[in-house]
Structure 1
Amino acid sequence: MRLRHRDGSVVHLSYCTNVHAAEDLTGILAQLDTYALPVRRRLGSAVLGLGLWLAAPAAAELAADRAARRRLRRELAARELEVVTLNGFPYAAFQAPVVKYAVYRPDWTEPQRLRYTLDLATVLADVLPADAARGSISTLPLAWREPWTPERFDACRRSLSMLAVELAALERRTGRLIRVAVEPEPGCVVETTAQAAAMLSGVDTRYLGVCLDLAHLAVAWEEPAAALARLRSAGLPVVKTQLSAALEAADPVRDGDALRGYVEPRFLHQARSRDGRSADDLPEALSWGTPTSPWRVHYHVPLHAAPMPPLRATTGVLTDALRELLGGAEAACDHLDVETYTWNVLPPRSRPDGPAQLSAGIAAELAWARDRLTDLDLKELPS
């Protein structure tokens, strides 16, 4: 989906396909008909954007086979789908029965992470629409916070420097600019915009920047205006924004039963209290005893639907961030990706029953996001 900002630039809105489990090219192509095409038709959109997730084996296969990349582009075009952004955070098996800490490996100290990201860049350079200004790839925030040493930080910086060199070479070969965006997340080496400003100081900002995940921003209790001012001051571009909302419990004692309804075995759900307490997963937070302040929980909930009462969603943080990014005279970010990967682990009464209901839910999220953007005077483009 494309919208026009008042400055004349095109803003791309997509949904992230890491909610789907397929990890090979056959399965990825099947997703297009099972989910993406029904979503586009429900929205009545001329073109639907996908924030494509490719597991490492699929990315390697496509990067090694130009004919396969051309086939993927043809299959997308035949369904009026387009890809300007890839999610390069999960390496593989993101919808496995248990993911938890495995999603942070390999990290940026390991050569597999650089290889995977370069494979993704090779793929994106070929599937990117001809009239798109650039492509983007979101990636993990260097590593999980433990273990962390100066030597590991040096290894990450060397990998990021090499990444920028290779992206520059790719641009010279293909004429396509691909940018990689580090995504701050609670519990990681880079979990706040302040840490992003410190850890990414001096990187080549033509090719490297930040992916602002708005659920993560909320869980860290960051205010959007201050966070974006901090990134601007550091000279770090917001290459990509993930439109997501977290859970909020105003009174965790009163809301305990509702919070327990969101405990599930697949993903980590980091919790942060307003008074500074932190937990790596929701069950740990529920064992704290009597809390003294509200909590926010890293659980991506559908944008358009309220969570289990009396819990709330942090959609206010999301709308404030969109106003800061796109409500002014110039667009501060042009790649927006709705990333609710937790649809299949929601509490049973909120969980979709089959592909048709999941497609309907994704379409409703995108419609909600589109409405927030048109409220900011962006105009949906007909094609």
Structure 2
Amino acid sequence: MRFRHADGTAVHVAYCSNVHAAENLAGVLDQLSRFGEPVRERLGVDRLGLGLWFARPVASELIADPRAVAKLRAELDLRGLEVVTLNGFPYRGFHAPGAKHAVYHPDWADPRRTGYTLDVARLLTALMPDDAVRGSVSTLPLGWRDPWTPSRSIRAARQLDLLADGLSRLDRPVRVGFEPEPGCVVENTGQAVTHFRDTDTTRLGVCLDTCHLAVAFEDPARALDALTAAGLPVVKVQASAALHVRNPRDPATRYALSTLVERRSLHQTREGAPYGVDDLDAALWGGLPGHRPWRVHLHVPLHADPRPPLSTTRDVLRATLRELFGGARAWTDHVEVETYTWQVLPDRPVGEAGLVKGLAAELGWVRDELRSLGLVEVGG
């Protein structure tokens, strides 16, 4: 979907395909017909954005075969789908059981991360619609915090210079957004300012994930003011909501949380500052005092509430969208809905039809929010 802000900015809205377990090219092509096109049809729009995720083997296959890239572009066009943004955070194995910390490797001290990111950026230039102003790629915030040494910081700085240089050589503009996340080297927007303010900010910036923003108990207005003051662009906003836990000591609440403990993904849990643990099970086993509300890094559907007594941080998402788009200027032009944890939720969708319905409902919620802020939907 595309929208027009009052300042003339074309705002692209997509959903992130990392919700689908596809780590080969056949799987990527298959998800277009099984999910992308049906979601578009359910929304009743002529054109739908996808934030594709290419695992490293997929990216390598496409880079080696221009005909495969042309085939993918043709499939997107055929099904009324378009791509202006890619998720370059997971390298591979995102849906593997027990992935946990593996999703943060290789990190930005490793040249493999640079090579992968430049490859997907190059592919994006071939997939973007001809009238797109630019593309975006989101990536991890340098790496997991432990072990992260001064020598790794030096190596990462060199890789970021190589990244910016590589992006400058592309045929079309593509920016890379580093995505602050609790537990990582860059956990919040303040740390993003510290680490990235001296980089090439014409090509590098921040991917603002509103689930992560909420888990870090950041205020959206203050976060955006800090980024603006540092000259760091919001390359992309990932529209997402975290789990909010009003009373962590309540037995019914603790039981509901226990049903969400799982092996695949980390669910960093915070009780304001400075209290935090790296996974939900650690929080439940006494890692947090439980005197104040918790927020859990678990992406929950934007349009629906979990069963009480749990709730969401949808209010943080709504406030962030208001700050980004409710004024005289649009502060970003790429919005990506990113809920990839459907299958661990108690009210998980049933089958492919259920997931299509859920994804369309999330996009519909974002559409309504943007309309309420004065944006006008264009192009179907």
Tell me the TM-score normalised to structure 2 length: 0.98
1:241 has 2:240 as partner? no
Q: What residue identity is the alignment partner of 2:40?
A: R
The Cα offsets for residues 197-228 of structure 1, whole Å up to 9 and x where unpaired, read as 00112110111000000000000000000000
Structure 2: tracts of 5 or more residues without a match: none
Instruction: Name the CA distance, whole Å, in 1 between partners of 2:15 and 2:254.
Output: 31
1:361 has 2:358 as partner? yes
Equivalent position SS for 1:142? coil
Structure 2 partner of 1:118: 118
Structure 2 partner of 1:204: 200
Instruction: Name the CA distance, whole Å, in 2 between partners of 1:178 and 1:333.
Output: 14
Tell me the TM-score normalised to structure 1 length: 0.97
Q: Within 5 A, what are the aligned runs for 1:107-186?
A: 107-170=107-170, 174=171, 176-186=172-182
Instruction: Name the CA distance, whole Å, in 2 between partners of 1:275 and 1:192.
Output: 12
Structure 2 partner of 1:317: 316
TM-fit CA distance, 1:65: 1.8
Instruction: Name the CA distance, whole Å, in 2 between partners of 1:248 and 1:276.
Output: 17
TM-fit CA distance, 1:149: 1.2
Instruction: Name the CA distance, whole Å, in 1 between partners of 2:183 and 2:195.
Output: 15
Equivalent position SS for 2:136? strand
Structure 2 partner of 1:380: 377
Instruction: Name the CA distance, whole Å, in 2 between partners of 1:275 and 1:131.
Output: 44
Instruction: Name the CA distance, whole Å, in 2 between partners of 1:274 and 1:135.
Output: 35
C-alpha spacing 1:233/1:57, structure 2 compared with 1 (3 Å): same
The Cα offsets for residues 302-335 of structure 1, whole Å up to 9 and x where unpaired, read as 0011012111100000000000000011100110
TM-fit CA distance, 1:274: 2.0
**Mean Cα displacement is larger for which, 157-166 or 287-296?**
287-296
Structure 1 partner of 2:341: 342
Structure 1: tracts of 5 or more residues without a match: none
Instruction: Name the CA distance, whole Å, in 2 between partners of 1:217 and 1:275.
Output: 13
Instruction: Name the CA distance, whole Å, in 2 between partners of 1:368 and 1:99.
Output: 30
Structure 1 partner of 2:247: 251
Structure 2 partner of 1:306: 305
Equivalent position SS for 1:209? strand
TM-fit CA distance, 1:382: 2.8
TM-fit CA distance, 1:276: 2.4
Structure 2 partner of 1:352: 349
Instruction: Name the CA distance, whole Å, in 1 between partners of 2:273 and 2:14.
Output: 35
Instruction: Name the CA distance, whole Å, in 1 between partners of 2:306 and 2:114.
Output: 37
Q: What residue identity is the alignment partner of 2:21?
A: A
Q: What residue identity is the alignment partner of 1:291?
A: G
Aligned length: 377
Q: What residue identity is the alignment partner of 1:312?
A: S
Instruction: Name the CA distance, whole Å, in 2 between partners of 1:346 and 1:112.
Output: 34
Q: Contact conserved, 1:2 with 1:10, CA < 8 A, in 2?
A: yes
Q: What residue identity is the alignment partner of 1:345?
A: V
Structure 2 partner of 1:10: 10
Structure 2 partner of 1:80: 80
Which residue of 209, 213, 218 maps to 1:217?
Answer: 213
TM-fit CA distance, 1:259: 1.2
Q: Contact conserved, 1:275 with 1:293, CA < 8 A, in 2?
A: no
Q: What residue identity is the alignment partner of 2:199?
A: V
Instruction: Name the CA distance, whole Å, in 1 between partners of 2:345 and 2:91.
Output: 23
Instruction: Name the CA distance, whole Å, in 2 between partners of 1:366 and 1:88.
Output: 21
Instruction: Name the CA distance, whole Å, in 2 between partners of 1:160 and 1:97.
Output: 31
Q: What residue identity is the alignment partner of 2:307?
A: M
Instruction: Name the CA distance, whole Å, in 2 between partners of 1:357 and 1:33.
Output: 15
Equivalent position SS for 2:169? helix
Equivalent position SS for 1:331? coil
TM-fit CA distance, 1:343: 0.8
TM-fit CA distance, 1:81: 0.1
TM-fit CA distance, 1:373: 0.6
TM-fit CA distance, 1:61: 1.1
Cα RMSD (Å)? 0.9
